[in-house]
Amino acid sequence: MSTEVVLHNTPLLEEHIALGAKMVGFGGWNMPLQYEGILTEWDYNRRTCSLFDCSHMGEFIIKGDAVESGLDGIVTQRLTDIPPKTCRYGAMLNAQGGVIDDLIVYRKAPQEWMIVVNAANSEKNAKHFKDHLTSKAVFQDISFETAKLDLQGPLSRDILKTLVPGIAKLEYYTFDEFTLLKEKCLISRTGYTGELGYEIYYPWEKSKELWQAILKNDKVKPTGLGVRDVLRIEMCYSLYGHELDETISPLEVGLDKFIDFDKDFIGKEVLLKQKAQGSRRAIGCFTSESRRSPRAGHKIFNEAGRIVGEVTSGTFSPALQSGIGLGFVEKPTNTIGQKLFFGDEKTKAAAAVVKRPFYKSGSLKH
Binding region for another protein (CB under 8 A): 34, 37-39, 226, 229-230, 290-293, 295, 315-316, 318, 323
Map residue 238 onto helix, strand or coil: coil
Shortest distance (Å) from residue 291 CB to another protein: 4
Shortest distance (Å) from residue 4 CB to another protein: 19
- What is the DSSP pairing of strand 8-9 with strand 29-34? parallel
Rounded CA separation 347/290 (Å): 13
- Side by side, the strands of the sheet bearing 183-188 are 175-180, 183-188, 197-203, 146-152, 49-53, 220-222
Contact 49, 156 (CB under 8 A): yes
Exposed, middle or buried: residue 139 (CB in 10 Å: 0-12, 13-18, 19+)? middle
Cis peptide before 110 (omega within 30 of 0): no
Nearer to another protein, 23 or 230 (CB): 230
Map residue 35 onto helix, strand or coil: coil
Shortest distance (Å) from residue 147 CB to another protein: 26
Nearer to another protein, 286 or 316 (CB): 316
Nearer to another protein, 3 or 321 (CB): 321
Shortest distance (Å) from residue 41 CB to another protein: 10
Nearer to another protein, 159 or 236 (CB): 236
Nearer to another protein, 43 or 330 (CB): 43
Q: How far is CA 265 from CA 50, 96, 319, 355, in A?
A: 37, 12, 39, 31
Shortest distance (Å) from residue 219 CB to another protein: 21
Q: What distance lies between CA 324 and its chain's CA centroid?
A: 18
Nearer to another protein, 88 or 242 (CB): 242
- Side by side, the strands of the sheet bearing 99-109 are 87-93, 99-109, 112-117, 58-63, 138-141
Shortest distance (Å) from residue 301 CB to another protein: 18
Nearer to another protein, 41 or 252 (CB): 41
Backbone angles phi, psi at 236, to 5 degrees: 60, 30
Shortest distance (Å) from residue 257 CB to another protein: 30
